[in-house]
Amino acid sequence: MPRTQHSTIMMLLPGLVGLLLVLTAEARVGDSSQLQFCTETEECLLFDPICQINDLEVRNYSSVKWVSTSESSMLMEFAAMNMFRRLFDYIRGSNDQGVVIDMTSPVLMNMPQKSWWQTGVFTMSFLLPDKYQKSPPKPTDGKVKVHDTPDMTVYVLSYSGWMTTSSINNAFGQLFTQLDAIGAKYRKDTRYAAGYNSPMTIMDRHNEVMVVVEGKPACPSQD
């Protein structure tokens, strides 16, 4: 009897190992040492690199959960202060479990499509650490929500320095110019700006702007 049990386990083992690999590959919030530009938090949003187009990158992101809040404003800088405070309160314990949650990277900003003088809705998101991805603590502030980003393929342009309205607009301008020059198709309705550094960091700051690929990414052919 123990013998049959043993061989049953041996037969199941390859399947279990396979399952474990799949689960590991699905954990898309992970150790920051895997990302050279993610240096200030223990966990970061990970991705699969797909290809490089000049100085643009194509990446695959898996669906992940974020805690988010929105604010209407003319300037990102004004909106950001209120949004950051609300999200910071959430990770400091303003949630139904009263738990303190580690900061992760990047902080994501969803930028409205608008002219500079218009008011638009900005959304800021903190990425939930791996241990809270399955069942995030519920926010106690009604303006703070948990939301998912779907699996997505994105075009990314990285730049250094500070994340300001003008640096973000400038980076998006460069991203769109380069994508339009090669006839790449992308969604116009979602514009993400990602920041990887605290405001206290002076050197080696890393920021990104990204848009979602429509159809197949315009990767250079392999030959």
Ligand X SMILES: *[C@@H]1O[C@H](CO)[C@@H](O)[C@H](O)[C@H]1NC(C)=O
Q: Please, which residue, 55 or 214, has the CB nearer to ligand X?
A: 214
Q: Please, which residue, 76 or 210, has the CB nearer to ligand X?
A: 210
Q: How buried is residue 68: exposed, middle or buried, by Cβ count under 10 Å (0-12/13-18/19+)?
A: buried
Closest alpha carbon to 119 in 81, 86, 87, 78: 78
Q: For residue 27, which phi and psi values (nearest 5 degrees)?
A: -75, 100
CB of 47 to ligand X, least distance (A): 9
CB of 50 to ligand X, least distance (A): 6
CB 45 within 8 A of CB 105: yes
The sign one gets for the Cα dihedral 161, 213, 59, 149 is positive
Closest alpha carbon to 25 in 6, 44, 46: 46
User: What HEC string does 93-146 produce?
Assistant: CCECCCCCCCCCECEEEECCCCCCCCCEEEEEEEECCHHHHCCCCCECCCCEEE
Q: Please, which residue, 60 or 82, has the CB nearer to ligand X?
A: 60
Instruction: Name the site residues for ligand X (rule: CB under 6 A).
Output: 48, 50, 60, 151, 153
Q: Please, which residue, 95 or 153, has the CB nearer to ligand X?
A: 153
CB of 51 to ligand X, least distance (A): 10
Residue closest to ligand X when measured from CB atoms: 60
CB of 176 to ligand X, least distance (A): 22
Q: Please, which residue, 80 or 156, has the CB nearer to ligand X?
A: 156
CB 191 within 8 A of CB 122: no
CB of 52 to ligand X, least distance (A): 14
CB of 35 to ligand X, least distance (A): 17
Q: Please, which residue, 59 or 65, has the CB nearer to ligand X?
A: 59
